[in-house]
Amino acid sequence: MEQVKPTRMELMKKKAQIRLAEQGRDLLREKMDALIQEFFKILANVSDSRDELEQVSKSADLALLIAQATDDPVTLKSAGFATRRSITVDITGKNIMGVPVPVIEKKRVSKTMLERGYGVIATSARIDETAERYEAELDILIKLAETETAMRRLGAEIQMSRRRVNALEQILIPELKSQAKYIKNAIEEREREDLFRLKKVKSILERKKKKVTEKKRDAAAGKM
């Protein structure tokens, strides 16, 4: 505590720092609670989307196996090449309690038979069904990419807020309170010492005054 000056001004400064640190801790707690609520809302959506993805993925794989087993391999391969194309997405952003998260805007992946690019007459309904189910799987994957990224960012912000709250609550605020207590005790000790010295000086002055009074009294008595 040698670096702390035991003065009333320093004590006022430490008390102001304690109030500020406690306000910061309370605000961070409120932010963390709000982030946790948002996190669990998104988590519920992610959980539902993952379940849906699992079902759609199994359905798509099964449709492909059936098409591979019953359709001409060349026709199936040609249809696969015909449907290969890039998927364009526009990524913007939004803030959730000050945390930037992505927003993916896209055109729907699912297409009609005529939009897929392969000959309708040469292909079977099984190939159409396979393409349709994989397109549905891609739609869910893109949706999951947005929500899972948002969930990870919120989770990281929650952890950071928790570390800051712990640092304030377990390190900074106790240290400031300890310093304030040290300053207060030092001031009180100094005041007690000052009071003791004042009493001692007063006692000495009273004794001197008494002696002077006695001398005057004795001198007056001698003259008589």
Q: What is the domain-level CATH number for residue 124?
A: 1.10.287.3240
Give 88-126 pLDDT, tens digit per residue.
777 888 888 888 888 887 666 656 555 555 555 556 777
Percent residues over pLDDT 90 in the chain:
31
- Determine contact, residues 43/144, Cβ cutoff 8 Å: no
The two three-digit tokens of residue 12, written as one number: 């006022």
Instruction: Map tokens 């079977």 to a residue.
Output: 124
Q: Residue 95 belongs to what domain range? A: 8-177
Has this prediction a pTM greater than 0.85? Answer: no
Would residue 197 count as lying in a domain?
Answer: no
Counting the structural domains of the chain, the total is 1
Give 147-182 pLDDT, tens digit per residue.
899 999 999 999 999 999 999 999 999 999 999 999
| Structure letter (DSSP) for residue 118 | S
Q: Over 60: is that where the pLDDT of 215 sits?
A: yes
Cα–Cα nearest to 98, from 31, 51, 151, 53: 31
